Amino acid sequence: MAEYAFKILVIGPAAVGKSSLIRRFVNNEFSLQYQFTIGVDFMTKIVEYEPNQTARLAIWDIGGQDRFKMLRRNFYDGAHGALVVFDLSRAQTFSQMKKWIFDMYQIMQKEVPIVILGNKFDLISEIGEVLDRNELHQYAEKENSFYFETSAKTGNNVEKAFIEITQRIMGKNF
């Protein structure tokens, strides 16, 4: 039995890899087939965020609700923290993501720990960088957050991201 239970949101623009990151973390699977997320989806997983310290994460995938801002209120309710995702291969998703953070705080009427994920890191070697890495780190720092480059495809940094958000919620790094 895990000692703690936390609600973690995974938010960000469409098709950045939110559902894929969750599937990689929870089931260690990946598919290139795009599966549109209908409604709200959630999965649970126990994470060992420190040696012999576990927490049960309820991971909420915002899915098709991205377009219905009104419905987001229920989704955000009671969340302890969020992974905020953009796509390293599509620059516009970074500025869209900033708006997601702004809207979340406005709807929740408080700030919660967040970790920012630049996903699809595996594509950078093919297409090159479309965003300035310094800017990404600076932005995360300004938001009192942490920035990871992840790949749901290779699994790069995926578990680390979930551990980081859990530690921040526990007040270790926040």
Residues in contact with ligand GDP by the rule CB under 6 A? 14-20, 31-32, 34-35, 37, 119-120, 122-123, 151-153
Residue 37 binds Mg ion (CB under 5 A): yes
The length of the chain is 174
Per DSSP, the three-state class of 127 is helix
Minimum CB distance to Mg ion smaller for 23 or for 80: 23
Q: How far is the CB of 139 from ligand GDP (least distance, A)?
A: 20
CB of 51 to ligand GDP, least distance (A): 28
Q: What are phi and psi of 169, to 5 degrees?
A: -65, -40
Give which of Mg ion, ligand GDP, none residue 122 binds (C-beta under 5 to 8 Å, depending on kind): ligand GDP
Shortest distance (Å) from residue 73 CB to ligand GDP: 20
Q: Among 112, 122, 130, 132, which Cα is nearest to 158's?
A: 122
Least Å distance between CB 174 and ligand GDP? 25
Choose among ligand GDP, Mg ion, none what residue 118 binds, the Cβ cut-off being 5 to 8 Å by kind. Answer: none
Phi, psi of 154 (to 5 degrees): -95, -15
CB of 26 closer than 8 Å to CB of 63:
no
124 vs 120: CA distance, rounded Å: 8
> Site residues (CB under 5 A) for Mg ion?
18-19, 37
